[in-house]
Amino acid sequence: MRSILFIIPHELLGFPLFGLGWVVFGLVLALIARWIWGKANQEKTESFLASLPTWGILGLVVMFLFPRFEMIDAMGNAVGIPIRGYGVMLLLGLVSGIGLAMYRGSSLGIHVDTIIALAFWIFCGGILGARAFYVIQKWDEFAQPTMAATLWKILQFTEGGLVVFGGLIGALIAVGLFAHLRKLPWLPLGDLIVPSFLVGQSIGRIGCLLNGCCFGGVCDTNLPAVYFPHGSPPYAHQLIDGELLGMKLTVQPNKRSWKIDKVAEESIAAKMGWQSGSLVSDLNVGLVTAIRRDPTLPPMIGVDLKVDGVQYSFGPKELPTNSLPTVPAQIYSAIDAGLLAMVLWWLFPLVNRDGIIFGMGLALHGVSRFLLEMVRSDEGGQFGTDLTISQWISLGMILVGCLILARAYRSPTWNRPLLGRSGTFSPATSSTPQN
């Protein structure tokens, strides 16, 4: 896990980088160089003046927006802008998906301008959908005293908090709007983007591993497992569940206490003399801000709880340094998406009906995601069932994929249609109806 890859420092040679600092100074020098270059090349003054608003916007962003992204340490001092593994892998997945679509699109006669425009729509729709889905799921984490503070909290998506299924829904809506506005056939576009989406997801899941989100349950077999560091999301989850302390808990009817069903040997619970049948209450996990730590590492945490009415507290030194062995759900998801993308990529030139790749991608991904949810432990059941929200959406995805396949197999075969530079649909050169 490496949530923060590195930090762009707040200061350089004792002077801040952002705000009224080195970067603004560099922009001023660049603007002067731009003016000198224009004069040397006999550029009209109007052209230089027309570029000033762009330079002004860059300056305002560096002076007022960038400082808002700086990390603040426990002492209230600005550390710098963190470059997060999740955001880097998200960007890498986006670029890879666009590149794949451009490569495949060129063989179909789809101009690069159309692909880039579609990619922009998909990116915006995907990010909005992914963030909206997460915010709706965990609204309590985003509700702030003021509307401005709540909005700012929602906008900090580079720190994590994007739901893949929400992104998929948003991307599909964006593709539909794009196709409608440009009068393009949406099924061929779906065939084109599904493999690209899966490649992007495969890379993005590595970002989930770096961020520590979308984690699996405790691995109590000899299967492959990963260990997450102190303070990571899986570590905190296992601590709240009592597993990291060596307890198997069952929630009581009042939902305010838990009964110890089992105590693991040589665990913290065993050393404290806790036994099966004891009641646990007031179990709270919190940050230990007094301990200064490398800001690129997860925060130090501690836990307070009562066992049979007796208060106990454990700080970072009393707790394990790593999580229990955890099912590598992120790696499984990355492999799953990558393999499915390869299969669809191989099948792409073999099919001769619009929507087959699109429908297969949705249906097969829905099946695999439904199964992968069984090894994850970061979500609970919904609607009074043991099925997570992702499993419910997976069922819907399977249904939609099957409907698209049924539509595709009722359509005539073709020689692949082309989408030209203008973005208009060029009919197939020949078509032979088949049942």
- Domain identity same for 254 and 308: yes
Residues paired with 16 in a beta bridge: 11
pLDDT band at 422 (very low <50, low <70, confident <90, very high): very low
pLDDT for the residue numbered 425: 43
pLDDT for the residue numbered 58: 86
pLDDT band at 239 (very low <50, low <70, confident <90, very high): very high
Reference 316, options 343, 297, 296, 335; nearest CA is 297
The two structure tokens encoding residue 199: 């490649």
Residue 191 in contact with residue 261, Cβ under 8 Å?
no
pTM for this entry: 0.79
The CATH code of the domain that includes 252 is 2.30.42
The tens digit of pLDDT for each residue in 23-39 reads 999 999 998 998 888 88
| Residue where a domain stops, chosen among 269, 292, 314 | 314
- Domain identity same for 112 and 215: yes
The tens digit of pLDDT for each residue in 329-381 reads 999 999 999 999 999 999 888 888 888 999 999 999 999 999 988 887 666 66
pLDDT for the residue numbered 209: 92
Domain annotation covers residue 372: yes
Domain annotation covers residue 175: yes
The tens digit of pLDDT for each residue in 116-166 reads 888 888 888 887 887 787 777 777 777 777 777 777 777 766 555 667 667
Reference 400, options 235, 206, 169; nearest CA is 169
- Domain identity same for 388 and 262: no
| Residue where a domain stops, chosen among 294, 314, 334 | 314
Q: Could you give the count of Cα atoms lying within 13 Å of 172 in the half-sphere of its Cβ?
A: 16
- Domain identity same for 387 and 354: yes
Mean pLDDT of 399-413: 87
Residue 419 in contact with residue 114, Cβ under 8 Å?
yes
Q: In the chain, what percentage of residues exceed pLDDT 70?
A: 90
Q: Is the pLDDT of residue 417 over 70?
A: no
- Please indicate whether residue 273 or residue 129 has the higher confidence score (pLDDT): 273
pLDDT for the residue numbered 148: 77
- Domain identity same for 149 and 93: yes
Residue 165 in contact with residue 195, Cβ under 8 Å?
no
pLDDT for the residue numbered 292: 61
Which of 18-22, 226-230, 308-312, 348-352 comes out lowest in average pLDDT? 348-352
Q: In the chain, what percentage of residues exceed pLDDT 90?
A: 30
pLDDT band at 424 (very low <50, low <70, confident <90, very high): very low
The two structure tokens encoding residue 100: 């794949």
Q: How many domains does the chain have?
A: 2
Q: Is the pLDDT of residue 60 over 60?
A: yes
- Domain identity same for 201 and 335: yes
Give the domain range for residue 295. Answer: 233-314
Mean pLDDT of the chain: 83
pLDDT for the residue numbered 419: 45
Residue 26 in contact with residue 34, Cβ under 8 Å?
no
| Residue where a domain stops, chosen among 290, 314, 338 | 314
